[in-house]
């Protein structure tokens, strides 16, 4: 029988590797940086809430209150996960990091024709809206990484010295898995009065994220990569609402205000627009519980697997693009023989292993290998052995 009380998330879920594994096991998946399989416990929590909400009527008196309460709780949990306990008012929910970045980049409260800094390590989710601003008149400067923190910071410093009004930068590069010197870059921006936006989509869930330590003005994330949460979940944290203007408005942008008001909500929900799948955000809350319970085990495990992978592929004909000592589950390799696209396809067709093609303008194609703590040592060994076989076949 359906009750009037919404289903709760599980505060003490089974966090054993077997309980968290969602994959069926007839292949190997090394594209967590694209999307991590959703934890089964998160799927269950989301489905329980979705079913219940549908049964009571989502926008009925019972359902509507539960809908909003679920989103409020998600903002609070996401703020805590980002290092700002009690900072729910500074969090806006989004459908993805792409959604959040578009909202923030378009809403930058800067003068027309401003100089904006970013890096070539950014995902298209940041580069495309930034390049759109450039089309509309802003001056966009894209800084190369070159695995040299000092050189990158020198260019950031030069940019703010030239009058840059904004900086958009990832904490972890989706193209190399390297950790970029974000804290130092944000400090340079802050000292010059520039607004900083940090993308932590490839960080949260595998490396520590603390908005106060980063010193950014806004931090954007999502649920479906290293957190292993549901698709279509994400959000962003904003230090000062006045630094960004809402560019899209809907009923949720003014939910806390009297009917007919032309003001925005007095918190970050001013950046939210319309109806979302609240159940997916319940699933996101469940994944955050899992990560709180796992603690440092994830990062320790990822580092150990990274060392094993680099050791196993050391004798293969690869150029490793990633910094070996980086603390992430992303390693990018470039086949010396070229034709990375064909190798990626053969790895699936012949070995049933998923790896990701990196195809960026101006640089040779590469292959991204992204793994998480649930991978086993034997999975890493099988990946390396499959590469050895497939590369040999490619040469012959």
Residue 139, strand partner residues: 115
Q: Do 33 and 202 contact (CB within 8 A), yes or no?
A: yes
Residue 285 is predicted with a pLDDT of: 98
Q: What angle, rounded to 10 degrees, do the helices at 278-294 and 61-81 form?
A: 30
**What are 65-116's pLDDT values in tens digits?**
999 999 999 999 999 999 999 999 999 999 999 999 999 999 999 999 999 9
**Domains with residue ranges and CATH for the chain:** 64-291 (3.40.640.10), 297-395 (3.90.1150.10)
Distance CA 355, CA 29 (A): 7
Residues 6+ apart with CB under 8 A from 85: 79
Quickly list DSSP for 57-90.
-TTSHHHHHHHHHHHHHHHHHHHHHTT-TT-GGG
Tens-level pLDDT at each residue, the chain (396 residues)? 578 999 999 999 999 999 999 999 999 999 999 999 999 999 999 999 999 999 999 999 999 999 999 999 999 999 999 999 999 999 999 999 999 999 999 999 999 999 999 999 999 999 999 999 999 999 999 999 888 999 999 999 999 999 999 999 999 999 999 999 999 999 999 999 999 999 999 999 999 999 999 999 999 999 999 999 999 999 999 999 999 999 999 988 987 777 777 789 999 999 999 999 999 999 999 999 999 999 999 999 999 999 999 999 999 999 999 999 999 999 999 999 889 999 999 999 999 999 999 998 888 999 999 999 999 999 999 999 999 999 986 444
Query: What pLDDT, on a 0 to 100 scale, did the predictor assign at position 396?
Result: 41
DSSP 345-374: HHHHHHH-EE-EEE--TTS--EEEEE--TT
Give the C-alpha separation, 231 to 157, whole Å: 37
**pLDDT number for residue 393:** 60
Instruction: Note the pLDDT tens digit of each residue in 31-70.
Output: 999 999 999 999 999 999 999 999 999 999 999 999 999 9
Q: What is the pLDDT of residue 146?
A: 84
Distance CA 88, CA 269 (A): 10
- CB neighbourhood size of 252 (10 A): 20
Instruction: Reduce the DSSP state of residue 22 to 3 states and report it.
Output: coil
Closest CA to 119 of 162, 167, 179: 167
């Amino acid at each position: 029988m359906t009750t009037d009380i919404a289903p709760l998330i599980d505060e003490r879920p089974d966090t054993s590797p077997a309980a968290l594994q969602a994959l069926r096991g007839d292949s190997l998946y090394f594209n967590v940086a694209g999307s991590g399989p959703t934890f089964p416990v998160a799927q269950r929590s989301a489905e329980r809430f979705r079913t219940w909400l549908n049964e009571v009527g989502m926008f009925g008196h019972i359902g509507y209150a539960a809908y909003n309460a679920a989103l409020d709780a998600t903002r609070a949990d996401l703020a805590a996960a980002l290092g700002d306990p009690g900072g729910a008012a500074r969090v806006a929910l989004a459908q993805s990091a792409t959604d959040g970045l578009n909202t923030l980049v378009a809403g930058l409260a800067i003068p027309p024709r401003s100089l904006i800094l970013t890096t070539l390590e950014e995902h298209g989710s940041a580069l495309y809206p930034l390049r759109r601003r450039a089309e509309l008149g802003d001056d966009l400067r894209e800084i190369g990484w070159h695995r040299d923190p000092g050189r990158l910071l020198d260019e950031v410093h030069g940019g703010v010295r030239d009058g840059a009004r904004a900086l958009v930068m990832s904490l972890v590069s989706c193209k190399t898995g390297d950790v970029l010197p974000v804290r130092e870059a944000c400090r340079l921006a802050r000292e010059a009065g520039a607004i900083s936006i940090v993308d932590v989509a490839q960080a949260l869930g595998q490396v520590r994220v603390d908005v106060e330590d980063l010193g950014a003005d806004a931090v954007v994330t999502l649920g479906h990569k290293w957190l292993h949460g549901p698709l279509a979940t994400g959000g962003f944290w904003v230090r000062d609402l006045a630094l960004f203007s809402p560019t899209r408005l809907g009923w949720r942008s003014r939910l806390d205000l009297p009917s007919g008001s032309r003001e925005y909500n007095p918190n970050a929900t001013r950046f939210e627009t319309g109806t979302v799948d609240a159940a997916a955000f319940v699933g996101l809350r469940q994944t955050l519980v899992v990560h709180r319970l796992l603690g440092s085990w994830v990062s320790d495990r990822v580092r150990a697997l990274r060392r094993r992978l680099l050791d196993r592929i050391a004798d293969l004909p690869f150029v490793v693009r990633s910094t070996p000592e980086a603390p992430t589950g992303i390693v990018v390799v470039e086949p010396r023989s070229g034709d990375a696209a064909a190798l990626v396809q053969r790895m699936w067709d012949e070995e049933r292993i998923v790896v990701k093609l990196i195809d960026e303008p101006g640089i040779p194609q590469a292959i991204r290998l992204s793994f998480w703590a649930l991978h086993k040592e034997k999975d890493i060994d099988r990946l390396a052995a499959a590469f050895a076989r497939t590369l040999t076949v490619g040469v012959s």
